[in-house]
Amino acid sequence: MRKHIFATMPLALAIAGAHAQSSVTLYGIVDLGVDYANNVASGANGQLVPGAGAKLVQMQSGVPAGSRWGVRGTEDLGAGYQAIFRLESGFNAATGVQGGGLAFSRNAYIGLKSDRYGQLTFGKQWDAAVDLVEPFSLNGQYGGWYFAHPNDMDNLDNGYPVNNAVKYVSPNLAGFTFEGHYSLGGHAGQFSNDVTYSAAAQYAHGPFSAGVGYLRVNNPITSVAGYGSGGGYVNAVFGDALANARYQGIVSAGAAYTIGAVKLMADYSNVYFGSIDGTHNLRFENYEVSGIYTVTPALTLGLGYTYTTGHDRVVDTDPKYHQANLIAQYSLSKQTSVYAMGSYQHAAGSAQNAQITGFNPSSTRNQVVSRLGITHTF
C-alpha cells in the first residue's frame, strides 16, 4: 500500500503543478522627445491671458505612446480557465513624476479568462470603445494625443481609464468581438452619479476590419480622473460644457482596409455634453481619414486629416476645426525607434482659438506643433 502511495505521488504533484502554472511579466514603454509649437497662449484660472501667445520649446514624455511600466500575470486554473491581473502606471520620463500622482494611473484590475466564454475583469481599465474603435484612428496607431480629436473629447486616445469597472470581453466569434463595461458610482442613494458604461463590437476578416462603440459618462468632471481643466490649463474647445455636464454621450465608429503596404482608415465620433440646467448643451462631430504606408520594414509613414464641427444650442454657435497630422517613424531595432511628427490645426466658424491636444490654445486661429522623439519598449 505504501509503495503504491509513493509511486503515485510524483504523478499527482505533476498534475497539480500543471494546473497551477503561472507567469508574471514586467513590461513598459519609455517615450521622450522635444516639441516646438509656434503659438501657445498663457492661461490663468481657465482663461486666456490676452496677447500672451508665444513660441514654445519643451521636452515632453509619452506622446505617440504613453510612457509606462506595468506588471501582468496569469495563473492556469485548469479546464481552460485562467486568473489574470494587470497593474500599469504611467510616468513622465522627463521628470520621473507618476501619472496623475497615482501608483497605477492606467490600469489596475483582476479577473478570470476562458478561451470559450471570454474574459471578466474588475477594477480600473479602458472602456470598450478604446479597445475596439480607437485602433481605426491615426492617434491609435501612431502619433498619440497630439493627433487626437480636439482635446480628446471622445476619449479615442484613451485619455482616461474608468474606475470601479466591471468589464466583459467576448472570445472571437467568426471574426466578431464584443465588449462592455459598467462602472459603479459608489454614492449612497445616488445610483447614477459618477457612473460610466460602454459597449462596442469589432469585426475583422482578411484585409478589412471595422468597429462601433458607445460610451456614456455621468458627471464627467468628477467621474474620470484628470479630465477637467485645471492648474492654469485652458480648454478652448469645450470649456464650461464639461464642468456643467450632467452626462457625456459618445458614439464612435471606424473601419480599415489594407492594400499591400498601405493601410487606409476612417473613423467618426459624435460627442454630446448634456448640461444639468440646459445652459451648456454642446454637440461635436469628428470625421477623420488617414493612412499608414510601410515604406520599408524599418520605415513607416502616417498621414491623417480630421474635420470637427460643433453646435451650441443655447448660444447658437458653430465652432469648427481642421487638423492635419504627419509622422515618420524609423525602427532602429525591434524595441527602439526614432520619429518626427507634426500637426497643424485651423479653427473656423465661431471658434476663435486653435488648440492641438496637449497644449494651451493658440492666441490666433492657427497652431503648429512639431516633435522629434525616441521610443523604447521592454
Q: Which triple of cell numbers denotes residue 275?
A: 448640461
Provide the residue count of the chain. 378
* Per-residue pLDDT band at 222 (split at 50, 70, 90): confident
Could you give the count of Cα atoms lying within 13 Å of 363 in the half-sphere of its Cβ?
Answer: 15
pLDDT of residue 225: 65
Nine-digit cell at 267? 473613423
Single pTM value for the model = 0.90
- Domain boundaries defined on the chain: 23-377
pLDDT over 80 (residue 30): yes
Residue 374 is given by DSSP the state E
Q: Is the pLDDT of residue 8 over 60?
A: no
CA atoms of 200 and 216, how far apart (whole Å) = 12
d(CA 201, CA 312) in angstroms, rounded, equals 30
Q: Is residue 47 scored above 80 in pLDDT?
A: no
Whether residue 87 contacts residue 102, with contact meaning beta carbons closer than 8 Å, is answered with: no
Give the SS3 label for residue 198.
Answer: strand
Question: What digits encode the pLDDT tens for the residues 134-178?
Answer: 999 999 999 899 999 999 999 999 888 999 999 999 999 999 999
pLDDT digits (tens, 9 = 90+) for 266-286: 999 999 999 877 777 899 999
| The pLDDT of residue 63 is above 70 | yes
DSSP state of 297: S
What single DSSP character describes residue 152? G
Task: Judge whether 254 and 154 are in contact, CB under 8 Å.
Answer: no
Fold observed for domain 23-377 = Porin (2.40.160)
